[in-house]
């Protein structure tokens, strides 16, 4: 069953006189339980795509359905409610609240679910332990490194077991060990909890964890690769090859 379906979406930035069309008619379907990777050159519109798919930003044209409900026409309040309940985010620029400690940041999405303090604490111990940030729990974002922020941001995305996780360069600031830990965690969420994951990345190695990789170019879907029964190593090779064809920074 398609959990997420985007039909011919367009996104234009700027005003009448200074238009920049970033997304030009993208069609994308994500099945429930899929782990989709999105790749493309810097500035190709990946973050923009993720934003509109996750209802943070509105499309200029086109429709997006999540679980059969079209949300391009939904009210702002309903959208917010939906994000709060069902979505998890790992943002490219971390998006942690300066005023909260690491632990408070991570537990933020839980506050609306109404689970008990004890359960929340247990949940935090588990997620933070897996991502190696438990020791940092009482620190403020200004006092931790970029990679630690990224892991905190990831912990926040996992903590309420969301149905769909949107991740924008979740491994961008991580060393290879922490990166593979995080990716394993994502894969784990995907397999054990049937969480649907949409991940933007530049890193072919990270993309090789996905079951499918979508390549974006000129605001359109350039091509897709399916992992199928392939081993990760050979899938990685395919990805690198495709990336080579795709080219670098776009004009």
Partner 1 sequence: MSLNVIILRNLKKNIKNYYLYVFALVFGVALYFSFVTLKYDPSLDVMEGTIKGGAAIGASSVLLIAIVAIFLLYANTIFIKRRSKEIGLFQLIGLTKGRIFKLLSAENLILYFGSMVLGILAGFAGSRLILMILFKILDIEVAAKLRFSIEALQQTVIVFAAIYVLIMLMNYMFIKGQSILSLFRVNSTAEERVRKMPIREIIMGVLGIAFILGGYYISTQLFGGKFVDMAELMAAMIAILALVIIGTYLFYKGSVSFVFNLIRKRKKGYLSINEVLSLSSIMFRMKSNALLLTIITTVSALAIGLLSLSYISYYSAEAQARESSPQDFGYVNPEVKEQFTAALDQAGIKYEELYIPVFYTSVDAAQVMGKTVYQKDEDKQIHTAVISDSSLGNVDVKPGETRLMGLSGALKNFMPMKETGELGFWTAEGKVPMKLNGITSEAVMPYRFGGGSGVFVVDEADYQKLVKVSYPSSQKNVPTEYYGLNLKDRGQMKQAYEIYTAQESTGDKDHALRLTSFSQYEFEINQRTSMGMIMFIVGFLGLTFLITSGCILYFKQMDEGEEEKGGYTILRKLGFTQGDLLRGIQFKQLFNFGIPLIVGLFHSYFAVKSGWFLFGTEMLTPTVIVMVLYTVLYSIFGLLSVVYYKRVIRESL
Q: Which single residue is written with the structure tokens 């490194």?
A: 145
50: part of which helix (H) or strand (E)? Answer: helix 46-53
Q: Which stretches of the chain bind partner 1, using CB under 8 A? A: 56, 76-77, 80-85, 87, 89, 91, 95-101, 103-104, 106-112, 117, 120-121, 124, 137-138, 140-142
Residue 43 contacts ligand ATP per CB under 6 A: yes
| CB closer to ligand ATP, 45 vs 88 | 45
Q: What is the CA radius of gyration of the chain?
A: 18
CB 212 to ligand ATP: min, Å: 18
| CB closer to Mg ion, 47 vs 201 | 47
Residue 47 contacts ligand ATP per CB under 6 A: yes
| CB closer to Mg ion, 43 vs 129 | 43
- Show the CA angle centred on residue 182, arms to residues 241 and 198, nearest 5°: 60
List, in order, residues 6 or more apart from 161 with CB less than 8 Å away. Answer: 193, 195
| CB closer to ligand ATP, 88 vs 172 | 172
Find residue 89's DSSP bridge partners.
166
Q: Which single residue is written with the structure tokens 């009210």?
A: 75
Stretch that binds ligand ATP, among 43-51, 125-133, 156-164, 228-236 (CB under 6 A): 43-51
Length of the chain, in residues? 251
């Amino acid at each position: 069953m398609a959990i997420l379906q985007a039909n011919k979406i367009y996104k234009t930035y700027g005003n009448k006189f200074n238009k920049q069309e970033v997304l030009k008619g993208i069609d994308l379907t994500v099945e429930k339980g899929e782990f989709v990777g999105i790749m493309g050159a810097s500035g190709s519109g990946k973050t923009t795509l993720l934003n509109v798919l996750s209802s943070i930003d509105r499309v200029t044209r086109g429709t997006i359905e999540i679980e059969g409900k079209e949300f391009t026409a939904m009210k702002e309040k309903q959208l917010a409610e939906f994000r709060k309940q069902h979505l998890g985010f790992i943002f490219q620029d971390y998006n942690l609240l300066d005023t909260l400690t690491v632990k408070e940041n991570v537990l933020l999405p839980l506050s609306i679910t109404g689970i008990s303090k004890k359960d929340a604490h247990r949940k935090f111990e588990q997620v933070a332990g897996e991502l190696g940030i438990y020791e940092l729990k009482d620190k403020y974002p200004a006092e931790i490194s970029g990679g630690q922020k990224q892991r905190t941001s990831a912990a926040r995305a996992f903590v309420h077991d969301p149905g769909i996780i949107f991740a924008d360069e979740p491994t961008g600031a991580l060393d290879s060990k922490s990166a593979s830990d995080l990716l394993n965690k994502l894969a784990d969420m995907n397999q054990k909890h049937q969480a649907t994951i949409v991940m933007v990345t530049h890193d072919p190695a990270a993309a090789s964890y996905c079951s499918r990789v979508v390549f974006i170019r000129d605001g359109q879907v350039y091509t897709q690769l399916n992992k199928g029964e392939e081993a990760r190593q050979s899938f990685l090779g395919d990805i690198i090859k495709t990336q080579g064809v795709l080219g670098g920074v776009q004009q």
